Structure 1
Amino acid sequence: MAKTTSAPVPTFSTENFQALCDRVAARDKDLKAILMAYDYPPMWTRPNTFESLIHIILEQQVSLASALAALNKLRDRLGKITPAGLLALTDEELKACYFSRQKTVYARHLAEAIESKQFNLKALEKLSDETVREKIVALKGLGNWSADIYLMFVLRRTDIFPPGDLAAVNALKDVKRQSKDVAREKLAKITMRWAPYRTVATMILWHYYLSVRAKKTPITEKIEKAVVL
């Protein structure tokens, strides 16, 4: 039997998100400095739908812009993205929506699992993080990074750090002034200090990453000024 949680799983929402940002930042001067320099991060979320998991598949190993372009092509083709609608498309039609051969296989496998009732998105909402991860990675083409993004964006679980996400990891190295080749174990120890709010801390890191890239200003200067203040 699938393992359910004995108590409600901690999640974030519009009502508590900024308070959780403040709570985790109160433990970490670097996160606090990011909030002072760039304000609160957006609360990135997605609905618990087939489309959201297709979006995650499309985001694997490509830019966010490329993935969104493919998703929008699929939306234009289908209107509403559903398992039945996707399965009705030919491989050539999916290729015209910028699906690679591999991602076509993954998307079809997911659609078939949902259509056959072997995979139930709604049921995942009541399961523990660990059990959700097990069910996600059991699907073809969906690994730990996909499970992390699903847990964070869709189920809004509060305590996930995605070690396979380059933007989050590179932001963490920068903010914590770590070398490029720092051991993953050391980074994991740093992120454990943010438990049980590692998701919220990660969103602060993503916000920092996107803000710095947009403004093209050295984060070290921003951090130093914010800490002094």
Structure 2
Amino acid sequence: MINSLKYLVEKDKTLNQIYTDIGNPYIPNRPEGFETLCKLIIEQQVSLESAKACFKNLEANIGEIIPKNILKYSPDQLRTFSISKQKASYLIALSNAVVEKTLEIEKLSELTDNEIRNQLIKVKGIGNWTIDIYLMFCLQSKDIIPLGDIAIVNTIKELYNCKTSEEIKLVSENWKPHRSMAAYILWHYYLTKRNRKPIIY
């Protein structure tokens, strides 16, 4: 990660300025596995504060977050634990994939990033943002830029005067092969500017 940071601050003056002003970015690290994928599903399109509260409520009601416990409930029943009906269906789909062994989460770390993406995308409710974050936070992939993340997109727009998706993508291409570190720097800037800290749970 140190080499990634050195590469980026030498190559990109904007990232260099962020590093100079606010220092090292926080590097998230989450455990691999089913529970983390459930958290990421719950985190889709909501604040981390809200997602944390929903996850804790789910955990308090069903116990250990494992497939067999989730599969005891219907989507409507899971809704009573603060999970939206849509996300409840996604959690059930993930649980079924694990139980039926169409997805073997414990073997993902043996695959390439593209192979992992091809495996996970088959599960209902798991899209590119969820996969990007799992690759970055759990498997420490070094060249991922989650362009489905609104904080990343808005920060690139702000700092690089981008207007279109294509312009944003072109900017991010300059950070290869260390795009994950660029994302950590951008998140660090986004949170610091709003006087917020990373949420860990």
Contact 1:24–1:197 (Cα < 8 Å) also in 2 = yes
Listed as ranges, the gaps of 5+ residues in structure 2 are: 197-201
Structure 1 residue 147 and structure 2 residue 131: aligned?
yes
Within 2, Cα distance between the matches of 1:208 and 1:190?
17
- What is the SS of the residue equivalent to 1:26? helix
Q: What residue in structure 2 maps to residue 127 of structure 1?
A: 111
Query: What corresponds to 1:40 in structure 2?
Result: 24
Distance in 1 separating the partners of 2:120 and 2:27: 23
Following superposition, the deviation at residue 93 of structure 1 comes to 4.1
TM-score for both structures, normalised by structure 1: 0.81
Alignment of 1:1-229 (within 5 A): 17-178=1-162, 182-214=163-195
Question: Given that residues 152 and 160 in structure 1 are in contact (C-alpha distance below 8 angstroms), is that contact kept between their aligned partners in structure 2?
Answer: yes
Task: Give the CA deviation at 1:33.
Answer: 0.9
Structure 1 stretches of 4+ moved >6 Å? none
Amino acid at match of 1:95: R
Q: Distance in 2 between matches of 1:213 and 1:85?
A: 38
Aligned residue for 1:43, secondary structure, equals coil
1:9 counterpart residue number: none
- TM-superposed CA distance for 1:75, in Å, is 2.0
Q: Percent identity?
A: 36
8 Å Cα contact 2:103-2:120 kept in structure 1: no
Structure 2: distance between partners of 1:21 and 1:75: 37
- The one-letter amino acid paired with 1:131 is E
Q: What whole-Å deviation, never above 9, does each CA across 1:53-84 have from its counterpart, x for those lacking one?
A: 11111111111111111111122223421111
TM-score by length of 2: 0.92
Question: Which amino acid in structure 1 is aligned with residue 146 of structure 2?
Answer: P
Higher RCO (CA-CA < 8 Å; seq separation 6+): 1
Provide the aligned length of Structure 1 versus Structure 2.
196
Q: Deviations over 1:102-153 (max 9, x none)?
A: 1111100100110111101121111111111111111101111111111111
User: Any stretches of 5+ residues in structure 1 without a counterpart?
Assistant: 1-16, 216-229
The CA RMSD measured in Å over matched residues stands at 1.5
